Amino acid sequence: MDRMDWTRPNWHCDSGPADTSADAALVYDDDVKAETDHLYERVKDVILPDEWPLHAPLIAAINRLKKERGTIILAHNYMTPEIFNCVGDLSGDSLALARMAADVEEDIIVQAGVHFMAETAKIMCPDKTVLIPDMRAGCSLAESITGEDVAAIKAKYPDYPIVTYVNTSAAVKAEADVCCTSGNAVQVVEWAAKEWGTDTVILIPDEFLARNVAANTDIRILTWKGACEVHERFTAEDVEALREGHPGVVVLTHPESPVDVVRAADYAGSTAGMAAWVKNNRPAKVVLLTECSMSDNVAVENPGVKFVRPCNLCPHMKRITLQNIYDALRYNRHEVEVDETTAARARISIQRMLDLPKPDSPAQFDKDRAPVEVELV
């Protein structure tokens, strides 16, 4: 399998003062080896043997601390493989993480993902402690729009429901009518149109997701000019070049990518959709045009499938490391708070999404549907 150097644990960032006495104990000794050998067996195709002794002491320490502290780690599909496979307790796409957060029993949740995911967990579990290992783990989509922007849109278009992607702040969710993720965006848009008795829905803030949804529904969509900095950079020419360079490769992409990329690919869906597609179809050779860690994590589940590796790193997701997860557990940091007035309103938007029927399989975007006009609000 092709490999890239970014799987090395070099994404350390400032996570506050280190406890040197505790860190001194974090060595790869026989006890740690015995505790973690079964985990290395799982990730041995995506983590080199000489890298493992760097990860294993932190993995063992995190797994011990989790038990002692009644903590659960929710891990997004874009976490690096040593986090996703070796310390994450529950994992999935944004929709699955929102559902899981609502049902967690443990008192402390560590979000191995970005800030909006931690906020969603806090909104759904206001009585629990929600920690994010690095407060700077943001998202270009979440940063593209504010609660005030949404209030202004609502004042301008009072008759149209506002569907907001979960990749937004609590303040944005509070001003919107209902949330969606890439795993259910068409379903939510069609529900909102019916519920509000309108043929027009405002879907914010991802322009590309909105354009891909618009091509997959008869509802008229208005949107906002936000974009995911990972997915907006893929082009239809990239897909063409991949097909030329790797004959027979199957191309999977995410609906946060431009419409012509989705149309050039073989499949488009959420991260969970892409993972399920590989598992169900077991292609000989596949490329996941998305964040880089996806290929490693899907590869772990699908030995024998060859992964072609052009990908884009999400700098926000990559702020989360084993070291700062360990620090989060040891020092109870960094606690995510959402004021109760905002949380109560945002909870309505999230709950409306979670109350919709759960589809049997992740939604697929029909790549053969022609693009349609989408206006910006």
| Contact by Cβ (8 Å): 335, 131 | yes
> Which entry of ligand SF4, ligand 13P, none binds 271, CB below 5 to 8 A by partner kind?
ligand 13P
> Which entry of ligand 13P, ligand SF4, none binds 316, CB below 5 to 8 A by partner kind?
ligand SF4
261: phi then psi, degrees, rounded to nearest 5: -70, -45
Considering only the stretches 23-31, 91-99, 318-326, 348-356, report the one whose residues sit in contact with ligand 13P under the rule CB under 6 A: 91-99
Question: Could you tell me which of 164, 183, 185, 182 has the C-alpha nearest to residue 173?
Answer: 164
**Site pattern 244..283 for ligand 13P (x: CB under 6 A):** ------------x-------------xx------------
- Is 316 a binder of ligand SF4 (CB under 6 A)? yes
Q: Which of 190, 229, 260, 335 binds ligand SF4 (CB under 6 A)?
A: 229
Could you tell me the smallest distance in angstroms from the CB atom of residue 321 to ligand SF4?
A: 16
- Is 230 a binder of ligand SF4 (CB under 6 A)? yes
Starting at the edge strand that comes first in sequence, how are the strands of the sheet with 129-131 ordered? 90-92, 71-76, 108-112, 129-131
Q: How far is the C-alpha of 265 from the C-alpha of 254, rounded, in Å?
A: 10
Q: Which is nearer to ligand 13P, 200 or 364 (CB)?
A: 364
Q: How far is the C-alpha of 48 from the C-alpha of 7, rounded, in Å?
A: 9
Sign of the dihedral defined by the CA atoms of residues 151, 373, 268, 351, in that order: positive
> Which entry of ligand 13P, ligand SF4, none binds 77, CB below 5 to 8 A by partner kind?
ligand 13P
Rg (CA), the chain: 21
Could you tell me the smallest distance in angstroms from the CB atom of residue 143 to ligand SF4?
A: 9
102-161 residues in contact with ligand SF4 (CB under 6 A) are 114, 139-141
23-82 residues in contact with ligand 13P (CB under 6 A) are 77
| Contact by Cβ (8 Å): 162, 193 | no
Could you tell me how many residues of this chain bind ligand 13P (CB under 6 A)? Answer: 13
> Which entry of ligand 13P, ligand SF4, none binds 229, CB below 5 to 8 A by partner kind?
ligand SF4
Q: Which is nearer to ligand SF4, 193 or 252 (CB)?
A: 252
- CB atoms under 10 Å from CB of 132, counted, come to 28
Could you tell me the smallest distance in angstroms from the CB atom of residue 246 to ligand 13P?
A: 24
- Is 93 a binder of ligand 13P (CB under 6 A)? yes
Q: How far is the C-alpha of 63 from the C-alpha of 303, rounded, in Å?
A: 26
Q: How far is the C-alpha of 66 from the C-alpha of 322, rounded, in Å?
A: 13
| Contact by Cβ (8 Å): 352, 179 | yes
Q: How far is the C-alpha of 316 from the C-alpha of 76, rounded, in Å?
A: 12
- Is 325 a binder of ligand SF4 (CB under 6 A)? no
Q: Is the peptide bond before 161 cis (omega within 30 degrees of 0)?
A: no
Q: Which is nearer to ligand 13P, 33 or 99 (CB)?
A: 99
**Site pattern 189..218 for ligand 13P (x: CB under 6 A):** ------------------------------
Could you tell me the smallest distance in angstroms from the CB atom of residue 281 to ligand 13P?
A: 18
- Is 367 a binder of ligand SF4 (CB under 6 A)? no
3-state secondary structure 174-208: HHCCEEECCCCHHHHHHHHHHHHCCCEEEEECEHH
List interacting residues with ligand SF4 (CB under 6 A).
114, 139-141, 167, 228-230, 291, 314, 316-317
List interacting residues with ligand 13P (CB under 6 A).
77, 93-95, 139, 167, 181-183, 228, 256, 270-271
